[in-house]
Structure formats: C-alpha cells, structure tokens
C-alpha cells in the first residue's frame, strides 16, 4: 500500500509538468468590409451593387522545443444588395478548419509535417472568386484535404523537399457539380552556388479523377528548372521555367485548349511550357517595386482545366510608421473552352489606427475583354468557365476595418 501511495504521489507530481509542456498561444481577428461596385458580376448591362463581408478567424498554437501543433478556423459571410444582384445569389458562406503538426529537427531546414483541412463554401462563391462567373445556383462545395511533407538539408549547400497532397471535392446536393479528386506529389532540389545565387530543380505529378459519365482521368507532369539571385542589396530576381504535359484518358474531345465536344470518350495528349519570374527592386528605403509573371496549366477549384498567363506589377510605399500606399496593375489571360483577357488597376491606402486595429480603402478598376469562342461550359465538369463573351467594366470602392487581438499570449 505504501508503494502504491508513493507511485500515485509521483504521478500527480508529474502531471503539471506534462500538462504544461506545451507553450500555448491563441490569436483571433475580425474583419468588416463594405464594397460599392458598379458591375460586381461583369455583366454586359452593368448595374450597381453594395456588398457587406464579415470574416472571423482564430488560431491556436501549441509549441514544444522541437514541434508545434496548429489548430485554425475561419468563416466569411458575404451579402449583396442592389439592382446589380438581380438574377443571381445574394448571400454566400465560406468556412473551414485546419489542423497541422510539424516536427523540427536539428537545423531550421529540416522538418516533417502533416496537415488535414476541411472547407465548405457556396458553389456560387467558389465560381465567382476564382473564375469571375456569376451563376444563380444554390448548394455548397466541400473540400477535404490531407497533406504531408519533408524538408531536408542533405549538405551545407543542398536542400531537398518532398510534398504530397490529396483533395476530394464534392457537392451538396450531389447534383450541384461533378465531384473529383486532385492528388499531387512534388519533389524539389535546391543548391546554393554562392551567398547570392542558388539553382532549383522540381518535378511534379498531378492526377485528376472525375466522377462524370466517362470517369475521366487527367495526368499532369510538370518539370521545371530555375534560379534565384540577390543581385544587390536592393535588387533580387527569381525565375523558373519548364514544361507541362497533360494526358487525358476517357475524356471529351473538347479540351482546355479548344476542340469540339463528342459523346464518345477519347484519349489525348497536350504539352505546353510553364514558368514564373519575380523581380523585386527596393527603389527607396520606404518604396519597393515587385513584378511577377506566371504561366501555368492546372485545374480550378471546381476541376475545370485552365491555362493561365498573368503579369502583375505592384509598388508599395511606406508613408510613415502607420500608413502605407500600394499601387498595382495586372493583366491576365484564361484559356479553357474560351479565351478571355482581363486587365485591372488598383490603389490601396492602409492605416494602423492602433496596435490591434487596421483600416484600409481601395479603389479598383477591372476590364474584361471580349472572349473568343462560343462554348462557355467545360465539358469535363459541366461548369461555366466565363461569365460572358462580351466586354465589361467595373469600378469598385472598398473599405475594410480589421481587429486583431491575442486571446492567450505565448508562454502559457
């Protein structure tokens, strides 16, 4: 009995040290946005609308000297009013959860991690956010994702990264869209040639499996090589280039690069080059110019295949310790069953009201050029790929107030 009492006492003595082995911290934020837009959904007959958006986020992190757990959740509610909303959904909901475990090794380059996430959003919102397509559909789009990866410094100058992810996309109700699974694996090798120059090699494989009438499968192989260089204390450059090779099995004769629709499943192969480049120039101590160019081939959030070309230039100027002005301009092309070009320009002024409160005001102009092609539905997924075939413009003014606060500071 005495030994049992001693054992129990020891266990209770150890309990506090185990319970408090993690350093916990919890942060949260709330954002309120009001947008005035002359043509929110880029229609050929423009009409104004007012949008109100509310976003809540919360992040909890538990740390040990060699690992950390992250638990995060967020939700966004969007509501539109006005004649510009007629004929489409006026309320959208988007929310999700994420859990991540990360194990750190001896150096900051060595780690392993696994992550799981779930997200649900309005199908209309998903199409609107990514493709600019406004559809009067109801229901929700669900995404369940599992991810894992390893980063290793194999020598003082060489690092290797392995990454794998699989996402299952489904709809509520099931008639709301074509379910599909997107599985991706990527390997990357980086070698530091000098203190200012490094080269990168990457190989990627992606498999898309659709639940359509043909059970279509698309395999995408991406091979790229590139480098990054710090040319001076104020100038840096990074570039990658390579090829994407698409193999379609049991597909439609209409592909992401044109063609005619057939009721007989076909196989096809398409190749194109891909790449990205980023130039960063610190013009002044408080002013930075960044230019980014990208060409990519891959699926949208609803699984429709796109080839995308884009170039973005942004100029950020810190006026003082509290306020920042950002100017940006971009042009992009989306190629699917149709080809559509977009151009936009924006100006944003941000001001830190206090340590926890941030306010910003943005003006944005967006122009959609006339689309080439007459088929606006992707034959594989059955979803629209463009909101219209004619030109359209929109002007918007957006006001945002964000409150960030610490619920539980680190050290607990």
Q: How far apart are CA 389 and CA 334, in angstroms?
A: 13
Quote the tokens at residue 342. 């977009």
Q: How far apart are CA 140 and CA 407, in angstroms?
A: 31
Q: How far apart are CA 154 and CA 107, in angstroms?
A: 11
Q: Is 63 exposed, middle or buried (0-12, 13-18, 19+ CB in 10 A)?
A: middle
pLDDT at 342 over 90: yes
Helix (H, G, I), strand (E, B) or coil at 394: strand
pLDDT band, very low/low/confident/very high, at 399 (cuts 50, 70, 90):
very high
Q: How far apart are CA 370 and CA 339, in angstroms?
A: 9
Looking at residue 179, the DSSP 8-state letter turns out to be -
Handedness of CA 70, 97, 126, 54 (dihedral sign): negative
What are the DSSP calls for 76-140, one per residue?
Answer: EEEEEESGGGTTS--EEEEEEEEEEEEEE-SSTT-EEEEEEEEEEEEHHHHHHHHH-------SE
pLDDT at 268 over 80: yes
Per-residue pLDDT at 70: 97
pLDDT band, very low/low/confident/very high, at 379 (cuts 50, 70, 90):
confident
Mean pLDDT of the chain: 89
Per-residue pLDDT at 41: 86
Q: Is 45 exposed, middle or buried (0-12, 13-18, 19+ CB in 10 A)?
A: exposed
Per-residue pLDDT at 412: 66
E strand intervals along 336-375: 339-352, 357-368
Per-residue pLDDT at 316: 98
Per-residue pLDDT at 164: 98
Q: What is the pLDDT of residues 16-40, one digit of tens each?
A: 444 447 899 999 999 999 999 999 8
pLDDT at 9 over 90: no
Q: What is the pLDDT of residues 112-151, one digit of tens each?
A: 999 999 999 998 888 888 877 777 777 899 999 999 999 9
Residues 238-246 have a mean pLDDT of 97
Return the percentage of the chain with pLDDT > 70, whole number. Answer: 92
Per-residue pLDDT at 374: 66
* Beta carbons of 337 and 378 less than 8 angstroms apart: yes
Q: How far apart are CA 40 and CA 366, in angstroms?
A: 10
**Nearest residue to 96 via CA among 27, 48, 144, 63:** 144
Give ∠ CA 61-64-66 in degrees, rounded to 5: 115
* Beta carbons of 37 and 49 less than 8 angstroms apart: yes
pLDDT band, very low/low/confident/very high, at 259 (cuts 50, 70, 90):
very low
pLDDT at 254 over 60: no
**Nearest residue to 275 via CA among 192, 198, 219, 202:** 202
Q: Which fold has domain 32-408?
A: Maltoporin; Chain A (2.40.170)
Domain coordinates in residue numbering, the chain:
32-408
Q: What is the pLDDT of residues 67-122, one digit of tens each?
A: 999 999 999 999 999 998 888 888 899 999 999 999 998 777 899 999 999 999 99
Q: What is the pLDDT of residues 171-216, one digit of tens each?
A: 999 988 899 999 999 999 999 999 999 999 999 999 999 999 889 9
Helix (H, G, I), strand (E, B) or coil at 309: strand
């Amino acid at each position: 009995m005495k030994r049992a009492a001693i054992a129990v006492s020891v266990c209770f003595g150890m309990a506090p040290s185990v319970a408090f082995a993690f350093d916990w911290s919890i942060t949260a934020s709330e954002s309120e946005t009001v947008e005035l837009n002359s043509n929110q959904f880029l229609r050929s007959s423009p009409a104004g609308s007012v949008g109100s958006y509310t976003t809540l986020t919360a992040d909890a992190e538990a740390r040990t000297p060699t690992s950390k757990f992250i638990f995060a959740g967020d939700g966004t509610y969007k509501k539109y009013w006005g004649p510009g909303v007629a004929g489409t959904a006026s309320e959208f909901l988007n929310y999700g959860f994420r859990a991540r475990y990360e194990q750190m090794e001896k150096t900051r380059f060595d780690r392993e991690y696994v992550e799981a996430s779930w997200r649900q959003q309005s199908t209309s919102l998903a199409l609107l956010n990514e493709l600019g397509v406004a559809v009067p559909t109801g229901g929700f789009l669900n995404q369940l994702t599992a991810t894992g990866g390893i980063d290793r410094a194999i020598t003082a100058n060489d690092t290797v990264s392995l990454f794998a992810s699989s996402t299952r996309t489904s709809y509520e109700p099931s008639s709301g869209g074509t379910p599909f699974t997107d599985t991706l694996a990527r390997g990357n090798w980086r070698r530091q040639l000098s203190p200012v120059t490094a080269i990168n090699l990457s190989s990627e494989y992606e498999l898309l499996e659709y639940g359509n009438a043909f059970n279509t499968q698309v395999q995408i192989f991406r091979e790229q090589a590139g480098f990054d260089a710090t040319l001076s204390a104020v100038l840096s450059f990074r570039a990658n280039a390579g090829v994407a090779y698409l193999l379609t099995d049991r597909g439609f004769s209409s592909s992401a690069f044109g063609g005619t629709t057939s009721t007989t499943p076909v196989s096809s192969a398409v190749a194109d080059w891909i790449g990205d480049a980023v130039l960063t120039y610190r013009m002044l101590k408080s002013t930075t110019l960044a230019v980014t160019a990208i060409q990519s081939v891959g699926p949208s959030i609803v699984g429709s295949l796109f080839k995308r070309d884009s170039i973005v230039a942004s100029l950020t100027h810190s006026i003082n310790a509290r306020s920042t002005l950002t100017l940006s301009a971009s042009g992009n092309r989306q190629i699917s069953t149709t080809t559509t070009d977009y151009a936009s320009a924006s100006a944003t002024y941000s001001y830190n009201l206090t340590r926890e409160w941030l306010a910003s005001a943005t003006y944005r102009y967006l122009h959609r050029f006339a689309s080439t092609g007459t088929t606006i539905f992707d034959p594989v997924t059955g979803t629209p790929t463009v909101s219209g075939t004619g030109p359209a413009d929109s002007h918007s003014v957006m006001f945002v107030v964000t409150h960030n606060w610490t619920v539980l500071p680190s050290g607990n």
